[in-house]
Amino acid sequence: MQLIFPRLRSIYDRLEPLSYALLRIAFGLMLMTHGIPKLLGRSHGSMADPMAGSVNLIANVLHLPGAPLIGWFVALLEGVGGLMLALGFLTRIVAPMVVVQMLVISYLLAPTFPWIDRGYEYPLMLVFVALCISARGSGRASIDARLGREF
């Protein structure tokens, strides 16, 4: 590949694994900020009880069966799965589950998420970040790499 600034190739080559690790870590930590309050029964932003809010949304807006069970799965995926992604542990298992979760959120809630006003771009962007992590794996700076697993 021909670079615009060829003299910077060594810098690009050194920063690429670090920048990917930082993306994966930031993504995992961001997911955790949504899952941990649900798991601990703590408030999150304007939501006094985010688990109850999630279960209510699943049951009464999406009309899915087993709302409490789905709510717990989502909370575990975001909380524990987010930690696993941040650490780079079982990334190729967890990240595709996040892709599915964010696709479902994007599809089912699209009518209630106007593009500008309420941030529809947020779950949609998370689809693509999770898809990138799914395809790329955990990278060199990860527990998976230390354990000799596919990264």
Per-residue pLDDT in tens (0 to 9) along the chain, 151 residues: 788 988 989 998 899 999 999 999 999 999 999 999 999 988 877 778 889 988 998 899 888 899 999 999 999 999 999 999 999 999 999 999 999 999 988 887 777 665 566 667 788 899 999 999 999 999 999 999 999 987 6
Please identify which residue in the block is written with the tokens 């593009």: 115
| Helix, strand, coil abundance in the chain, percent, nearest 5 | 75, 0, 25
* Burial of 86 per CB tally in 10 Å (0-12, 13-18, 19+): buried
pTM: 0.88
